[in-house]
């Protein structure tokens, strides 16, 4: 079949009109405030990081970027709210490890599907966990901590956020890898965990680098190891767990996701502007000083990362014998 010049011309005009429509759509967005749902409480590391990036994006877009805290239910409340939000490009999810890859392997049923209800937008940063002890604990290294635990079985306790949280699973994995038998003490939030460890009621605390760095700088806590695959800025003399226990590499992370079906041109725009914000020297320094590892990339990169993370966390849950509830 041959196409007449008239048909070809009509097709060309239609394609041009479609391209113009997409361009106009992208240029018109955003014409009202953008909402960034966060499934954790104000003052937490994800919240602080989200507000830092949101402020930069707001100035770039000339529109407010509102961080909406929907904490509770082990991140389920916020994740569900984001998953069910309109996919018009005005609501995004500041996602964390727990909501997207840990919950699916620790809950039998979730009111959202992390793999189907969201589209990838932009990776933000990785947040290593730190194994830290109170300054009163005599152990100056992880090896000394292991020896101390074995000399006094059951005498050491580890503050975590509960067995089905990131820190709780890290505590179980740490015991499994090292042969320690520290008692896991669950807390509701980072602040009481740090307070009780500094005060000596627990001896070990497992939290994100961003949460413990201020207390390390003051000398209240002593870092013994980090869970990242490489050493963390500002704690360069603190070894990674993988240096002693190969393959032990688990980090928290932050990423921007959108309700499934959000227009691709808006996702591309947000990805570009988020990556530009992360490249800003002031923001990069603040994130680095908090112990975060910036890991910007394309939506496709984030897709691959999330697929790998799902496999990693499923393997971890099996290894520590945690049964979904």
pLDDT digits (tens, 9 = 90+) for 140-161: 999 999 999 999 988 999 999 8
The pLDDT, as a whole number, for residue 6 is 56
Full set of structural domains in the chain with CATH? 15-126+252-320 (3.40.190.150), 128-244 (3.40.190.10)
- Calpha distance 124→78 (Å, rounded): 18
Q: Crossing angle of helices 209-217/190-198, nearest 10°?
A: 30
Cβ atoms of 180 and 146 closer than 8 Å: yes
- Beta-carbon neighbour count of residue 27 at 10 Å? 10
- Calpha distance 220→214 (Å, rounded): 9
Torsion angle of C-alpha atoms 211, 41, 52, 164, degrees rounded to 10: 60
**Segments of the chain assigned E as strands:** 34-38, 65-69, 91-96, 118-134, 157-160, 183-186, 204-208, 221-226, 251-259, 293-294
The pLDDT, as a whole number, for residue 21 is 46
Cβ atoms of 125 and 96 closer than 8 Å: no
Q: Supply φ then ψ for residue 162, to 5 degrees.
A: 115, 155
- Beta-carbon neighbour count of residue 55 at 10 Å? 15
Tokens 């956020």 belong to: 161
Per-residue tens of pLDDT for the chain, all 325 residues:
455 555 555 545 554 444 444 444 446 899 999 999 999 888 888 898 999 999 999 999 999 999 999 998 889 999 999 999 999 999 999 999 989 999 999 899 999 999 999 999 999 999 899 999 999 999 999 999 999 999 998 899 999 988 888 889 999 999 999 999 999 999 988 889 999 999 999 999 999 888 888 899 999 999 999 998 888 878 889 999 999 999 888 888 999 999 999 999 999 999 999 999 999 999 999 998 888 889 999 999 999 999 999 998 998 898 888 888 8
Burial of 107 (0-12, 13-18, 19+ CB in 10 A): middle
Name residues whose C-beta falls within 8 Å of residue 7's C-beta, 6 or more positions apart in sequence: none
Q: How many Å from the N-terminal Cα to the C-terminal Cα in the chain?
A: 61
The pLDDT, as a whole number, for residue 3 is 53
Name residues whose C-beta falls within 8 Å of residue 231's C-beta, 6 or more positions apart in sequence: 238, 239, 240
Q: Counting every residue, how long is the chain?
A: 325
Distances (CA, A) of 151 to 131, 158, 181, 310: 19, 16, 11, 37
pTM of this structure: 0.81
């Amino acid at each position: 079949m041959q196409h007449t010049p008239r048909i070809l011309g009509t097709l060309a005009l239609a394609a041009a009109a479609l391209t113009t429509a997409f361009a106009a759509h992208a240029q018109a967005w955003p014409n009202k405030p953008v909402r960034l749902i966060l499934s954790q409480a104000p003052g937490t590391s994800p919240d602080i990081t989200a507000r830092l990036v949101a402020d930069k994006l707001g100035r770039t877009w000339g529109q407010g970027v509102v961080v909406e805290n929907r904490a509770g239910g082990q991140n389920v409340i916020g994740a569900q709210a984001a998953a069910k939000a309109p996919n018009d490009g005005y609501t995004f999810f500041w996602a964390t490890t727990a909501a997207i890859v840990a919950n699916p392997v620790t809950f039998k049923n979730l009111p959202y599907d992390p793999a189907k209800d969201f589209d990838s937008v932009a990776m933000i940063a990785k947040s290593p966990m730190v194994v830290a002890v109170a300054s009163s604990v005599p152990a100056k290294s992880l090896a000394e901590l292991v020896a101390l635990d074995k000399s006094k079985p059951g005498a050491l306790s580890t503050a975590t956020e509960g067995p089905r949280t990131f820190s709780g699973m890290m505590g179980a994995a740490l015991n499994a890898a090292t042969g320690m038998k520290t008692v896991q003490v669950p807390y509701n939030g980072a602040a009481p965990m740090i307070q009780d460890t500094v005060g000596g009621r627990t001896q070990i605390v497992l939290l994100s680098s961003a949460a413990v760095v201020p207390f390390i700088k003051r000398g209240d806590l002593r870092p013994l190891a980090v869970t990242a695959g490489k050493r963390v800025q500002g704690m360069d003399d603190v070894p990674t767990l993988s240096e002693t226990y190969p393959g032990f590499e688990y980090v928290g992370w932050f990423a921007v996701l959108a309700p499934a079906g959000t227009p691709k041109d808006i996702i591309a725009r947000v990805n570009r502007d988020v990556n530009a914000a992360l490249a800003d020297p002031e923001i990069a320094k603040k994130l680095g000083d908090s112990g975060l590892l910036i890991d910007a990339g394309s939506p496709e990169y984030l897709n691959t990362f999330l697929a790998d993370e799902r496999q990693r966390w499923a393997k971890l849950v099996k290894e520590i014998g945690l049964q979904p509830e």
